[in-house]
Amino acid sequence: MEKMKKLYEGKAKIIYATRDKDTVIQYFKDDATAFNGKKKDTIEGKGIYNAAISSKLFLLLEEKGIPTHFIKLLSPREMLVKKIQILPIEVVARNVAAGSLAKRLGVDEGLVLKKPVLEYYYKDDALGDPMVNEFHIDAMGWATKKQLESLKGSALKINNILQKFFLKKKIELVDFKLEFGLYKGKVILGDEISPDTCRFWDLNTREKMDKDRFRRDLGGIVDAYQEVMKRVVGAKC
């Protein structure tokens, strides 16, 4: 599948058009940013690990009946995906308190939540992606009530599937971010699911195996991403 015009370049990925109007190529870069772009660096090979991990997880979700934008991996950094009209909402699912939730509620990182929690953030870099609720989404018309119900149901199902999957890989799925979009009138899962967008802790040691190693200057970033890939895909690049 030929890469045509660059349609969009984000912090960690580039979207290219293809000859087919319904599909685009999602290219995974090695660039990493945190704190709304204030911290920047390159993590060698990250794009390859994230593309491999995301592909495996999208396939797993498809098998379990969750519609996603994934079609196939074209090369180690390039994923052929359905062209979706992305909803301007980031959905965060949490099983364990960490990051902004731990800070906001004044609880220790690592507190296991009694039930999964979903949060919504309005995708706007200039505003720093503010947290919003279902009323804001409805009032601003970012998604219809029906689309929101579909997205909510999918996010909870995805959490359930991924939590079980990662448990088998001896990884605790702490929290993660999802993005959904419209494809032929239906809400489907887009973006990526990787150590850039999830918090993964080793089940036994609770050692961080995700982007927090970059955000918090913990070192060992490449090793952590490689280890997640090894456990998820069963191979090392």
Of 12, 198, 224, 232, the residue at the interface with ligand UDP (CB under 6 A) is 198
Tokens 């109007």 found at = 21
Site size for ligand UDP (CB under 6 A): 13
Residue with the shortest CB distance to ligand UDP = 99
Q: Mask: binding to ligand UDP, 208-237, rule CB under 6 A, as x and -?
A: ---x--------------------------
Output the smallest distance, CB 34 to ligand UDP, in A: 8
Neighbours of 68 (CB within 10 A): 24
What are residue 59's phi and psi, to 5 degrees? -60, -45
* Nearer residue to ligand UDP within complex by CB, 18 or 228: 228
Residues 143-182 that bind ligand UDP (CB under 6 A): 175-177
Residues 67-126 that bind ligand UDP (CB under 6 A): 92, 98-101
* Nearer residue to ligand UDP within complex by CB, 18 or 155: 155
Closest CA to 57 of 231, 225, 192: 192
Rounded to whole angstroms, how far apart are CA atoms 86 and 33? 21
Which residues are within 8 A (CB) of 115 and not within 5 positions of it... i.e. 6 or more apart? none
Please list, residue by residue across 45-59, b when 16 or more beta carbons sit within 10 angstroms of its beta carbon and e when fewer do: bbbbbbbbbbbbbbe
The residues that touch ligand UDP, with contacts defined as CB under 6 A, are: 92, 98-101, 129, 175-177, 197-199, 211
